[in-house]
A and B are shown apart, each in its own frame.
Chain A
Amino acid sequence: MKPAAFDYMAAETLEEAVSALARAGGDGKILAGGQSLVPMLNFRLVRPSILIDINRIRNLGNVDVTGDVVRIGALTRHHSLETSPVIKAHLPVMTAAMQHVAHLAVRNRGTIGGSLSHADPAAELPMLAVLLDAKIAIRSLHGRRVADARRFFTGSLTTDLKHDEIVTDVEFPRLSPNVGWAFEETARRAGDFALAAVAVTMSTRDGKADRVRIGMMGVGETPLRAPEAEDLLAGKAIDAQVLEAAASTIVAAVEPHTDLHASADYRRFLVGALARRAIRAAWQRACGALP
């Protein structure tokens, strides 16, 4: 339970960090909050030759709103997102999701950049990025690029990040106050990774659901959207029958795995139940019937 030996450098700037990462040639790891990386080091599941600590880099942990975009710096801690009035005002679905993220001592250190780069299929922030079509800004020695969240997650604990790249910030589209939203999760114990979760955003037009987004996690190798159910709901007033049709579509579309924590059948059942709850609550909020 002690890490294998590695070298360590505390980068003062992003340039220093990406240079060191490039020099490490695939054998370096970025250390942000360390709440997933350090357990993996302790178990010796990863044995990097060098850790590049980015915690001392300035201005990498800010949350700001420009126009219709909420930009969240990679070093923003989970506890900051949980308690940020800016996030509550513009991304209330994120405030709700953060209530489910681990425990205070972990939220005090864990970062959004780390969570996205680690890409646990049962983690809340990757799912929100997929739900809201976030843009993930990435830097390397060669420059800057932006990845669509829906293409960023390629498998369990696997992303589109190259070995010399680092996530610098994430841009979420601001949700206007009339967007209905909901986040529903089931975990074995408070703060555990989710067995499954469903998040929904939608607006209404002429009394019908519009611009429906459904995100899911715990039922695949990556966070997922439910495009068939989104299409099914769009343009409809959501009653019990429509709700049931959308939930059945979702249950039929997912292919969850059986593991130590839950069977595939149970996860399929669960995602249907969570979807029903989340779609109903998002619809009620969009109609102004829920705060």
Chain B
Amino acid sequence: MIAHKKIKLTVNGVVYERTVEPRLLLSDFLRVDLGLTGTHVGCEHGVCGACTIIVNGDSARSCLMLAVQADGAMIETVESLGSIRKLNSVQRAFHEHHALQCGFCTPGMLMTVTDLLRKYPLATDEQIRGGLSGNLCRCTGYEHIVEAVRALVRQREGAP
């Protein structure tokens, strides 16, 4: 019998203490143990990007981390971004540019774009598409997602 491990972590500003089996994926921990079902689970092997979250300031696939690894970590999920009444800038850009249809990939897209905007110039469409290439969307054909990111880059650079 394998001993369960006690972990303490901060998710979207709330401190949680839980006891988990070592093999529990962080994605399942967030969804099942904490009830934060905004993080979606697609492929469970790091290909689709739907489960992307932010761990200690960097985007990560939550299906490629174990809950035990997150002991002491600061985690942000899509729930941290905004609410239906008060969308944050990334959510608003997706809304305005029709960058989602079924919405399954959207939580991962939003978290990925959040990290991309912090780390890359995204000065060209090629860079934007390269940055988004780890997140699969089967509805939009990506064009409107690229448009939303272009608008966010303009906002970041201070354009009206």
Contacts and interface: CB of A to CB of B under 8 A. Distances in A.
Contacts of A288: none
Interface in B97-120: 112, 115-116, 119
B126 to A, nearest CB: 9
Contact of B63 (A7, A31, A42, A53): A42
A55 interface: yes
B58 to A, nearest CB: 4
Interface residues of A, number: 32
A39 B69 contact: no
B38 interface: no
Interface string B114-146: 011001000000000111011100000000000
- Among A4, A41, A51, A109, chain B packs the most CB atoms within 10 A around the CB of A109
A202 B16 CA distance: 55
A189 B135 CA distance: 12
Contact of B134 (A10, A39, A83, A103): A103
Interface in B2-27: 2-3, 5, 21-23, 25
A2 B31 CA distance: 15
Contacts of A5: 2, 21-23
A191 B48 CA distance: 12
B22 A191 contact: no
Contacts of B116: 104
B66 A8 contact: yes
A51 B133 contact: no
A104 B119 contact: yes
Interface in A11-54: 31, 34-35, 38-39, 41-43, 51, 53
Nearest to B62: A105
A106 B112 CA distance: 11
Contacts of A79: 58, 119
A104 B22 contact: no
A288 B136 CA distance: 41
Interface of A: 1-8, 10, 31, 34-35, 38-39, 41-43, 51, 53, 55, 79, 83, 102-106, 108-109, 189-191
Interface of B: 2-3, 5, 21-23, 25, 28, 44-46, 49, 52, 58-61, 63-66, 68-69, 71, 112, 115-116, 119, 129-131, 133-135
